[in-house]
Amino acid sequence: MWKLKIAEGGPWLTSGNNHVGRETWDFDQNDAGSSEERDALDAARAEFQKNRFRTRHSSDVLARMQLAKKNNFSLDQQKPNDEATVDINVATVSEALRRALGYFSAIQAHDGHWPGDFPGPLFTTATMIIVLYVTESLGTTLSSEHRKEICRYLYNRQNIDGGWGLHAEGESSMLSSALNYTALRLLGEGADDGPDMSMPKAWKWIHDHGGATMIPILGKLWLSVLGVFDWSGVNPMPPELFLLPSFVPIQPGRLWSHFRMAFIPMSYLYGKKFVGPITKLVLSLREELHIHPYKKINWKQARKLCAKEDAYHPHTWLQECLSDCLYSFGEPFLACWPVSHMRRRALQQIADFLKYEDDISRYICIGAAQKALSMLCCWSEDPNSDAFKRHLARVADFLWLGEDGMKVRVCAGQSWDVAFAVQAILASNVAEEFGTTLRKAHHFIKASQIVDNPSGDFSRKYRHISKGGWAFQVADQGWQVSDCTAEALKALLLLSEFPSDIVGDQMETSRFHDAVNVLLSLQNPNGGYGTWELARTYPWMENLNMTEIYADIMVEHQYVECTSSVIQALALFRQKYPVHREDEIEQCIRRATEFIEKLQNEDGSWSVYCRQFYSVHINKEKVCC
């Protein structure tokens, strides 16, 4: 039976807070579970598989079953006794609220957070499988039960037409289709396998849309690493850019953090033209994925190809011109002596940079896509290194099991979820009745604050201060986020208004000050707030975005959501600590408010980045005065 483990460590792992927030799944061969548990799980799996095209997202049935059981809560008691109409009044609403919070408390983990899925792009699982296969770690890292559940997930996420979308609700794309087909083959599935002829359907979709030469540049890189694509069919990603001075706008260290931490290891792999072992399966995939014989493919032409289904951000003529120049002149020139030593130097500096990032994030990295790339770079440097062993030990942190199967999550959202959960509970009129829940959540938030800056001269490694901030997920990862810090600070300030015998002791004042320091440091000259860092380069850099599937990823842009969260947190902080950095906070709030007002649409609304956030209602005079 699968078991969800919370806040547990293991070999090759380190932690600054006893692994608070860590979630891993382990298959216990000696515990088959009760017949009721097995039946419930089988029913949930069958229900999801049956309705997967209508209900795209899973409900974490197994995790919630186990958490409720540990908290001595019966999920059956939540079912209404009848469907009779009830009067809507204070009493019935309060009762419904108590029942909802009772259930919510029952699925809280013992360390105070609420475990759950955080789905992302459908190709993320495939890239991790490719890395584990290339590094010959697939069998030792993933048990047969892991592989079985990952196959279940990939089949469940396949569209009716045989392909896979960029995300669970997306129409089929070449990137996800080719990579997921590849992953299934690496996991042991045959070309004719799968429920309802799934693999032949996937093969047909890929071939009907031009074959794998039509995959975007990200897919071209991953297939090249595997040996199913030729590096001469990939547009240049010169690692020498990393040697540029930090003041140059195109220095990779100045890019948006998520893209930076993907591009830098990608340029490393490109610079080495790294290719894994060429196995019989790899040779077979060369024939299966392409519509022309592998040795006859025009790779120079293939580097410009991209399926229309994937071309969300098509190349401009300027991008094509730059790529052609780098391909035809730049790469041959950089390969010539004595200039060739620049590549060796760039690769070594990137390797050192990635090692630093691995260490300070405790090998979690900023996200799953970046981890897969960094882990492969680490292995290419030294397959037997302790660093690679530490990377492998953290793969489990990204695996999540639901009734839809097992996937590689982009990341988790532990700190983010708890901060909002606490605010919601405190907003009810029955918060005092759920003291145990609030105490555990309070402990989690305090334990999840990042207590140190990155080690060494972190500014030379393009990192911002992090002491006092909160990550999106766990403190061990170490990447501070503006709105995660703001929402956690708000939750703690609200908790401090309740008696300690109900919610626990409040956090030390100095740590509140540290959080404010992070927030003040993250404000941009225009008054707005981005996500992880300050903007370091210029908006025109977006013209150099070659990803094809993403837009607005080169620059750390500023957002209404992040800015609004910070305003609310600082305004609440100022009520409790009115004299701490009073002038700086007042100026910060005023500038942030002006930034939001400038972005207001004619109809009074605000555009948001990636989610429907709460409405922004700011009375400037009330907040700033």
Catalytic residues: 483
- 3-state DSSP call for residue 399? strand
DSSP state of 453: P
**With contact defined as beta carbons under 8 Å apart, do 497 and 561 qualify?**
no
Beta carbons within 8 Å of 53's beta carbon, 6+ residues apart: 159, 160
Instruction: Render 311-377 in DSSP notation, one character per residue.
Output: -SSPPPHHHHHHHHHIIIIIHHHHTSTTTTHHHHHHHHHHHHHHHHHHHHTTT--SSHHHHHHHHHH
Residue 266 belongs to what H/E stretch?
Answer: helix 257-272
Angle at 408 between CA 402 and CA 413, to 5 degrees: 80
Q: Which phi and psi (to 5°) does residue 502 adopt?
A: -95, -50
* Cα separation, 347 vs 336, whole angstroms: 16
* Cα separation, 122 vs 137, whole angstroms: 22
Six token digits for residue 413: 């959202």
Place of tokens 């020139």: 333
Whole-angstrom Cα Rg for the chain: 25
* Cα separation, 333 vs 379, whole angstroms: 28
CB atoms within 10 A of CB 543: 12
**With contact defined as beta carbons under 8 Å apart, do 567 and 592 qualify?**
yes
Beta-strand (E) ranges in 96-199? 164-165, 172-173
Strand 399-402 relative to strand 23-27, pairing? unpaired
**With contact defined as beta carbons under 8 Å apart, do 392 and 378 qualify?**
no
* Cα separation, 21 vs 470, whole angstroms: 13
DSSP state of 28: -
For 563-596, b where at least 16 C-beta lie within 10 A, e where not — what string? bbbbbbbbbbbbeebeeebeeebeebbbbbbebb
Q: Which phi and psi (to 5°) does residue 621 adopt?
A: -65, -40
Q: How many CA atoms lie within 13 A of 350 on its CB side?
A: 34
CB-based burial label for 303 (10 Å; 0-12, 13-18, 19+): buried
- 3-state DSSP call for residue 163? coil
SS (H, E, C) 470-500: ECCCCHHHCCCCHHHHHHHHHHHHHHCCCCH
**With contact defined as beta carbons under 8 Å apart, do 595 and 526 qualify?**
yes
* Cα separation, 625 vs 620, whole angstroms: 8
What's the full length of the chain, in residues? 625
Beta-strand (E) ranges in 217-267? none
Give the orientation angle of helix 482-495 with respect to helix 414-427, to 10 degrees. Answer: 40
